[in-house]
């Protein structure tokens, strides 16, 4: 007689923790009616790589992230994240330019929105406190979003994304609305939590300097295709303004602006 063995440990084991999700795209296209936005994108991202996506406005960057987040479906092709497709919703978190906090909820509740309701209140509170500690907002649990600065609100949004221990973190121009100094602080924070948590990160940014400061690899999207895929093999922590960083930045900008290098 056949016996079905229920392996509880396999069920309980989060498949992505500690090593980040693999991302595999094969022939991914997306059209809205007759408007073709992405064209046959093939992409392999290994676990815990930090990828920056740059490109002109309207070239399909946010569309690509929405497909990766499972918020929309490709018109053609396949997307695989991690080993098990059904885990996608749990393992992938998306952060936007606007923090999207609920103004009627305190900071801790805004963070634990990112958790499943199955957990106990106590667990939710502890996880939210841990996530707030990671983003430098310990002790702010009972504050209202209204009293926070723009940078602090983005930290809460980052804590909300981190609280569920994602295997893949998607960031859609997350720092675009911040002033220059807050932006650099947030870049450092994103880098340090990424180094600590080892998730895979894909960040859209219009700032090529930011891409070079943070990413292992830069993808340039042009009219829905990957026009440039370059490695950023610079040691961390990186120093803004280094000659090697400036050279990579120049190469990407030349392509973006379609300049010839002399």
Nearer to ligand ADP by C-beta: 66 or 90? 66
Residue 62 lies near Mg ion (rule: CB under 5 A): yes
Cβ closest to ligand ADP, residue 37 vs residue 68: 37
Contact stretch for Mg ion (CB under 5 A) within 29-37, 55-63, 107-115, 215-223: 55-63
Query: In the complex with Mg ion, which residue's Cβ is closer, 173 or 249?
Result: 173
Residue 58's binding partner out of Mg ion, ligand ADP, none, with CB under 5 to 8 Å set by partner kind: ligand ADP
Q: Does 205 bind Mg ion (CB under 5 A)?
A: no
Q: Count CB atoms within 10 A of the CB of residue 140.
A: 21
Query: Which DSSP string do the residues of 220-261 spell out, in sequence order?
Result: EEETTEEEEEEE----SS--TT-HHHHHHHHHHHHHHTTPPP
CA distances from 220 to 17, 191, 203, 225 (A): 29, 21, 12, 8
User: What's the min distance (Å) between Cβ of 172 and Mg ion?
Assistant: 6
What does 63 bind: ligand ADP, Mg ion, none (CB cut-off 5 to 8 Å by kind)? ligand ADP
β-strand partners of 30: 38
Number of Cβ within 10 Å of residue 55's Cβ equals 24
> Is residue 206 within 8 Å of 220, Cβ to Cβ?
no
Nearest CB to ligand ADP, comparing residues 94 and 107: 94
Residue 134 interacting with Mg ion (CB under 5 A): no
Q: Which does 193 bind (CB under 5 to 8 A by kind): Mg ion, ligand ADP, none?
A: none
Instruction: Point out which residues pair with 172 in neighbouring strands.
Output: 204
**Residue placing its CB nearer to Mg ion in the complex, 62 or 205:** 62
Q: Is 112 in the site for Mg ion (CB under 5 A)?
A: no
CA distance 62 to 135: 25
- Strands of 35-45's sheet in order across: 35-45, 23-32, 76-81
Least distance in angstroms from the C-beta of 184 to Mg ion: 22
Size of the site for Mg ion (CB under 5 A): 2
Q: Which residues bind ligand ADP (CB under 6 A)?
A: 32, 35, 37, 55, 57-63
Q: How far is the CB of 37 from ligand ADP (least distance, A)?
A: 4
Return the exposure string of 243-253: e unless at least 16 CB atoms fall within 10 Å of the residue's CB, then b: eebeebbebbe
Interacting residues toward Mg ion by CB under 5 A: 61-62
């Amino acid at each position: 007689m056949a016996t079905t063995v229920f392996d509880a440990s396999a069920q309980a084991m989060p498949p992505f923790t500690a090593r980040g999700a693999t991302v595999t795209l094969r022939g991914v296209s997306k059209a809205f009616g007759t408007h073709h936005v992405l064209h046959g994108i093939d992409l392999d991202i290994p676990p815990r790589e930090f990828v920056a996506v740059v490109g002109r406005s309207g070239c399909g960057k946010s569309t690509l992230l929405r497909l990766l987040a499972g918020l929309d479906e490709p018109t053609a092709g396949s997307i695989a994240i991690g080993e098990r497709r059904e885990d996608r919703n749990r393992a992938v978190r998306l952060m936007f330019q606007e923090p999207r906090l609920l103004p009627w909820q305190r900071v801790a509740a805004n963070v634990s929105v990112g958790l499943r309701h199955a957990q106990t209140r106590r667990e939710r509170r502890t996880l939210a406190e841990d996530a707030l500690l990671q983003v430098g907002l310990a002790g702010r649990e009972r504050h209202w979003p209204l009293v926070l600065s723009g940078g602090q609100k983005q930290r809460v949004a980052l804590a909300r994304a981190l609280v569920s221990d994602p295997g893949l973190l998607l960031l859609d121009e997350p720092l675009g609305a911040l002033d220059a100094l807050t932006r650099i602080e947030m870049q450092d924070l994103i880098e340090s939590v990424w180094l600590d948590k080892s998730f895979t990160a894909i960040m859209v940014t219009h700032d090529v300097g930011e891409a070079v400061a943070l990413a292992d690899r830069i993808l340039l999207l042009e009219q829905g295709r990957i026009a440039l895929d370059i490695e950023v093999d610079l040691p961390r922590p990186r120093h803004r303004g280094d000659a090697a960083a400036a050279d990579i930045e120049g190469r990407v900008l030349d392509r973006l602006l379609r300049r010839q290098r002399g």
